[in-house]
Structure formats: structure tokens, C-alpha cells
Structure 1
């Protein structure tokens, strides 16, 4: 299966923007400095809230580099999954919603709302240690393996977003690989990323691609990628994703996984942190879920409407 239509779609969505990186299945756009600073500040406060709640007997200082100040304590937080997702808990859910609202403001700057069908309600803050770990690398869905998110059940018309934010994003980044063709028998959910490993043999790496702070990267779901761990430092980034209104004639083998139920309207997604809140009953306690590396960690999150009947609706472009 050739990916010409995928390339044309991504170019169309971003055709009005000045791109800092312009590759066939990967583009990036600079984030306005004020909004980038607000997003970084919100993530630092989220990390700080985790620290003071999990280590109540210790003293921590809020700053613009919490990750670099307290790397050891942050890595021992119990809300981090096997693939590094830093989950929101009851003690930190308000701080999480603030981060979400900052992400939505950055996305609104792109001016591509007309291309959005639905948005994934959860944003993922992902913490990655640059030191290789043979144990975690063997997990079925380890992000250090070359993979497509199609293989975890994501929709074929999904567009993925990356926000590199804190730490060593240069050495602990992401590598991208464009397949010459994507086998139709791999347009399905896999049990292990290794099942699709051979596709990398017929792929071209985007050697010039950068996982750079201050940019938002937009990626087609058929672009293969992997987390880089080459003894760099800690880094934290945010993942988000939406389903494009422009559909391609690509069919998945079997049904899309339960992840699709987590997609909501763009209007509701923009309203998170305002008239809607992401909520959870899960406490800040050791993670006891799936350690295979599977991204299915969202069942514990609810979308709650806190808007009163007479409240005005939230307009991202007027606030």
C-alpha cells in the first residue's frame, strides 16, 4: 500500500503555515514563545504537585526546571507507567487539567480546526530516561521498538502530535522512518511490535528530523517511529492526537480497538479545563496496570461536565 494520499493530506492540513520541518509524513510548526512558556510552566507545576503529594515530608521548590532539579524523586513517582506516561491522579487532577488547557491553546494557534473530526480526550505526558534498559526494551509494546500507532488500535485517519518540552530532547528523542510501502496485512492491531519489524527493512529514515523544543510535530500514523535511548538525559514530552475529517480509502483488518471510544468532539476537547474536566478516582499510589507497554491506560479517566445551564460556552479563540 503506497502512502501518497497520506502525504497529500498532511500537506493540505498545514498548507497555510510556515513549517520549520517539512517532510512527507512529518511536519513541525514553531510554537509562539509565550504559549510555549505557559505550557512548560503548567507541566512544571504538575510535576511539583506530584512531588509534594507523594513526598509530604520533603521540601520542594517550584521552578521552571523541576525535572532537572529533582530527577531521582520524579523517576520514583508511582504514577508512571511502563512506557513512561505520567498519569494524573486524584491529588493532581486539577494541575493536569491546567496542562490540558495549555495544550489546547497551542493547538488552536495552528488554525486547522476545519480538518478535525474528533480529538483524543487524554493528553499524555511522557517521561523517558535516556539510559537503555534491556528489561523494558523486551516489552511487547516498548516504544524503543520501531512501530506505528496503528498497531495499538488507533484509527487509520489519526494525526499524531508531539510537544517536546523539558530535559534532553536532543539525545533522548524520536527517530522516524517512512516505509516505501505499508503492507495491508499490517493495518491491524498487533500483539507485539516485533510482528511488524520487517517493514523497517524497506523504510527510509528521516535523518534530518529533529525532536526540538518549542515546536509542535504533526505526524501521519503510518510513519514508523521509535524512542531514542542513547545514554542521554531525562526528557519529557506531550503526545496528543486527532482524527482527520479528510478520510483515506484505507481499511483496517478487524475493528478499531476500544481506544476509539476516547475520542470526543473538538468543542468538548477545547472546553477541558473550563466547562469540562478530566477526572479520576485513582489515588497517587503505585501503578498496578498493564506493564507490557500497551497504551491502554485511559479507562480510569472520565470527562465531567461542570458547566451550569446558564453559563456561556467557552470559545478558545476569544479567551
Structure 2
């Protein structure tokens, strides 16, 4: 797409703080140029939240009477609730009434709706969740982050191809490098599955070989590929460590007068580092391999995080990420 304006279908009922934070984040995104929002969900609740914020000409509501809850079985709920907010958001993309969909609701349901309604890119065996991981040096794309707990080597190969396209087009990385997450750097390390994956990846320009877990926060490569089980564990561990670290620093600083004085002096630098490593700054995860743009936000997304998820969706549309993956696959 070469236009400067995009339309985003937003699942207004998905997430821990829906619809309040979702509507607020969408409202903030709508203040940016070139974004039209379709808020999909319970019309009365959405209107109530919008009335607290003010009018926005580039926001409209698509009523959806059903909601898929976090605890529901994903695929079964999508099929039994065709009028849910997630399903209708995906349908809008399928019918070209929206260029992308964004949801912070049930991840499995968002994936199922995208697969059933929008479909896969021809040639892609399995879509993958691509997450942007902030490091001190740069942004790194990690995939799969949870869509496929069991994979075959050719799935890993396709993840690498899609991740490379994403790093290049959306993150603007020139000649992205790719690493296979393993327990050692030697090519014979790991299981038979990882060894076969390594062999396939050798044909991709930019593949540097195996990397280990400690290479990720150092930004050793631009793209990290692994199966969804490992990827999800890595992601949650990094999020947990980051949260504990900043909480502990705050506790220590507030524990004494000297700590408070020192904390006051380092506050500007501390905030800069926190913002750099804050996942809220980078929006949601991209479901790559779908024949359309689908962004999955964190369940506890606040307005800021959700706004940034919408901005990620806009960038993905304008950079033609789907066409790029089709070409590379």
C-alpha cells in the first residue's frame, strides 16, 4: 500500500482493562495523522468511554454483541461466536474495510480469527508471533513467541525469512542478521531438530549461526528464531526480570534519605533507560504469515501501549510487510 492513510479495526473488548484503556489508546492514536479507527465491540460501552474523551471524526463504532473471554477455548469460541469483537475485526480486514486489526484479547482467539477469516499467505506453513525485544543497543525481533509450541525445521526456516522481512521493512534494519536460539554456538549443538534447522538456515543471507540466551539482551543479532514454547518462556522471563529490576531499584532508592538523594540525581538517566527497555513503547506483537496485518497486544495493555500497537499496525501496512513476506517466501 502506497497511501499515507490506513484504517485499523480495533477489538475494543479485548484485554484486562477493556474497553476503557483500549478506547483511550485508540483515541490517542487517532490524533496522529493518517489513522482511521473502527472500534469493534459493545456499542453502548464504547460510546460511554468515547464521551469522556471528546469527539473524533476519524473514529467510528462497529457493534459486536459477543465477547470472547481470556479463559475461553480459542478456536471453539471463534467458531461459536461469529459476532464477537475479535471475529468482526478480522472480518473487516478480510472484506478490505480495514487494513489491519489490533487486539489485546485472547491471543489464541485472535490467531484463530485471523487464520479463519483472513487466511495464511500462500506457502506459509504456520504463522508466527513476532515480538520486538528492546535491548540497550537496538531492537531485536524474536519469533516464534508462542504461536507454535512444536515446530519442524522448515517452520523455523520460514520464521527466519519472515523475521528478516519484518526487521528490514518495519524496523528499518539494513541487511538484518539472524540467529538460531540454541544451548551453544557450535553448529552441532542441540537436538536433532535444531541441527536440521541450522542446516536449512545456512542458505539464508544474514544467518550467523547459533546464539545463546545471553546474546539476546546484548543484541547479537537482529532476528532470533526458535519454537514458540522456548520463545514464550524467553519473552516472559525477560519481562519478569525487567519488572523486578526496576521495582527493586525503586525500593532501594526509597529505603533511606541518602538513597532518595541519590535517586533524585539519577532520575533523568534512570527514566531514559526505563523508557528504552519498556515494552509499552513498542506496542504489540505481529502475527506474521497471515494474509493481512494482525497485531496482538499484551493482555494488560494500558492506553499508551495500545496506542503504540496501533502505530505498529500502521507502519506494517505502509511498509507493505505482507507483500514483502509473499515475495520472500
Scaled to the shorter chain, the TM-score interval is: under 0.3
Instruction: Choose between structure 1 and 2 for higher RCO, CA contacts under 8 A separated by at least 6 residues.
Output: 1
Give the structure with the larger strand fraction: 1
- Determine which structure has more spread, i.e. the larger CA radius of gyration: 2
Give the structure with the larger helix fraction: 2
